[in-house]
Every structure is written in structure tokens, then in C-alpha cells.
Chains A and B, each alone.
Chain A
């Protein structure tokens, strides 16, 4: 077996960081859209978040997140943007905290 390319590990780490950044960006766009009342983008963002959940990684968390996104979706549709904002901003904050923890552990 050929030794791994010296850049392979770095590329792998970078790609994981990039996916986390992308996820946070999805949250950011959705939160911003919610704050200006752009329901279409909110629905788009939440649908994307829901669609990209990976239940194989953690079934319980995937289910909890899915439920929260449904609540956020309904709230946005029923003109309760503050509920949508609370859910998305809390989750985004938790993901950022989680990313920091992972970095510290490394």
C-alpha cells in the first residue's frame, strides 16, 4: 500500500472544516432571511437543513433537529419569526460551541 499523500490528512481536515462552515453559512442565511421577513428563503434554508440530516450519524439528534426545523417552519409560516429566530440562533450558537470544543480537544 502506498503511503498516504502528505497533504491528504490536511485536505481531509480542511474539507470537514469546510462542511461545518457551509452548515453555519446555511444557518446564517436562513436567520438573516427570517429577520427581514423573507419567508421563501427561510423555507428553503430549513428544507435544506432537514434534507441534509444524516440519521445514520446520530438518529436521536437527527430526529430532534428535524422536529425543531418543523416547528421553525410552521412558526415562520404563521408569522411568528421570533420563534424561528430563537430556534435557529440557539442551534447555530450550539454548533459553533461544539466546533470550538472539537478544536480544543484536538
Chain B
């Protein structure tokens, strides 16, 4: 029985967000929401992370960075796009430097809409992502066998 769904460590990357979603992500770790009760730790290291939480749209400068972070994360991993910008590009979508949402460079598993996304919906997204781990871990094991 895999225990990854009980200890999902989170890596937060700010694409080209206005910081609204980032503040809401950090709010999740405060005493009011206390996301650590689900075993979630906000880690700064992609090699230790299980969930890649990305806020803001993708631009031509951070495209390579997002790809590299994604590749550095060991399997099984889940990507959560938080906020309208990370989902679709949001109000910056038409800008000359914006490529669009996070799914333009890496596969996204969970979309959390909102401008800014509320802590409740972010936690909801993380919990949905955690549920995905069970499937992903089993698929990985099946692939190994």
C-alpha cells in the first residue's frame, strides 16, 4: 500500500502571476487553513516534491524553467495549475510574451480556477491531486512489473 497520498510535499512555482494566487497559496499554510494537517509540506526542492503547484501564465522566459522543474521531480507526481492565469493565461493571454496556461509546456492534472483562487479551492485542488496519487502510484507499479 503506497503512502504517498498521506505525505504529498508541495513545490510552489510563481510563473508570471500578479502574486494574488501566491499569497493565497501561502495562506493555506497559515493556522487558519493549516494544510499541514494533511501531511502537506511546502518544500523548496523539486527533487523532494510530489505536487507541482504553479501559479501565473507561462511566458517565453520561464518556459524552460517550468520544464526543468517538472523533469527534476521524481515519479509519481501531480501538477496543479492554480488560478485563471495558470489554467488558461487569464487576462494576460493576449500579451505578446505570454504563451498561455501551464498546460502549454507540461501536462497539468488539476485545474483550480479563480482570480485569485481562494485557499478553500486550492486545498480542494490539492486533495483532488492527492486522490490522483493512488492511481498514479498503481499505474507506475504496473508499468514496472
Q: Do A and B bind each other?
A: no
